[in-house]
Amino acid sequence: MVSSSEFKCWALLLVLISSTLLGSVNSDPQVPCYFIFGDSLVDNGNNNNMASLARANYPPYGIDFPGGPSGRFTNGLTTVDVIAKLLGFDDYIPPYANANGDQLLTGVNFASAAAGIREETGQQLGPRIPFGGQIRNYQSAVQQMVNILGDEDSAANYLSKCIFSIGMGSNDYLNNYFMPAFYNTGQRYTPEQYADDLIQRYTNFVRTLYNNGVRKLVVIGVGQVGCSPNELAQRSNDGVTCVSNINNAIQIFNNKLIQVVDQFNNMPDGHATYINAYNIFEDILRDPQAVGLTVTTRGCCGVGRNNGQYTCLPYQIPCQNRAQYLFWDAFHPSEAANIIIGRRSYQAQSPRDSYPMDIRTLAQV
């Protein structure tokens, strides 16, 4: 039988482990606010009230998240939830759709599932908020912040200290370029030309963000989409080998994305960093057991080959050992994977994780 003193020691140890994993919540945040742009990898509820197929506000999504299903496309935390905690925020950054005026002062999440850099990306799934629409929502938020803080100069000074992260591009490949049944971009562009088109649009969006007060920018590269259970199920002969033509196209885009970071860093007071999600994912796949993962080719919840032909259905019973799965469903990482990716984004464990600095360093600039 465990004594009272032994129980208290174990309880204290668990608290210390949690604090180490997600950062202390007892001190002021390292930055005053954190704004997020992206797709379903970081969406936390902006699509909930849309008539869209790209929604996750039903069980078993959120099975490990406090309060249950929230609109997050995973079983628990997303990468930006992890980063927010590591930055010292007491609460998770709220979705823009549900945020009130005062919440804007600590940041909001504009991300929308199925969204892409191109306006038409993901349209077969129904309503979503593309990158351009997310930026328009941010511009509306800036006007509200001007009213709250009193004038444009005060708002500009405040925003210059905040961190802004962008994670866009996955759907432009998954739900556009490599989906010939709905889009002709794969026939119209070579991978090089398509990446150039995306980067031109991305650069224009980033310039708009800079003109609206953004000075600390995190640009998150696209991960290994060709290794997702959905692509393994559809395009991999053995269901194990990643789909090289998809990953090769993504690497072309990611390499050009670094130029966007360099350009931003050359702007007055501009500080940007590139998070190499592709490399972090590659490291995990190279030695998954080193980070406690044992299943890397199947979704924890899904239907068909690799649990990846169809995504997790409402009230479907997921796997029990979720902490050992790299993927939660056909497309999205599990909380276990998101914690690894979020921690390495915040504090690089390899020189290849970020360029030219990690998020922890960017916060201190």
Neighbours of 4 (CB within 10 A): 7
- 362 contacts 163 by C-beta, under 8 angstroms: yes
Q: To which residue do tokens 């993901």 refer? A: 122
Would residue 332 show up in a list of annotated catalytic residues for this protein? yes
Which phi and psi (to 5°) does residue 217 adopt?
-120, 135
Of the candidates 39, 40, 81, 170, the residue annotated as catalytic is 40
**Most distant CA atoms of the chain, gap in Å:** 70
Using CA atoms, how far residue 186 sits from 13, 74, 116, 176, 249, in Å, is 53, 29, 15, 8, 11
- 42 contacts 109 by C-beta, under 8 angstroms: yes
Using CA atoms, how far residue 235 sits from 180, 239, 243, 284, in Å, is 14, 8, 7, 21
3-state secondary structure of 43: coil
Given its phi and psi angles, is residue 190 left (phi above 0), alpha (psi -120 to 50 degrees) or beta?
Answer: beta
Would residue 43 show up in a list of annotated catalytic residues for this protein? no
Nearest to 44 by CA among 69, 72, 65: 72
314: DSSP letter:
T
- 355 contacts 273 by C-beta, under 8 angstroms: yes
Of the candidates 81, 172, 283, 329, the residue annotated as catalytic is 329
Q: How far is CA 34 from the centre of its chain?
A: 13
Of the candidates 81, 197, 271, 332, the residue annotated as catalytic is 332
Neighbours of 202 (CB within 10 A): 23
Q: Would you name the residues annotated as active-site residues?
A: 40, 329, 332
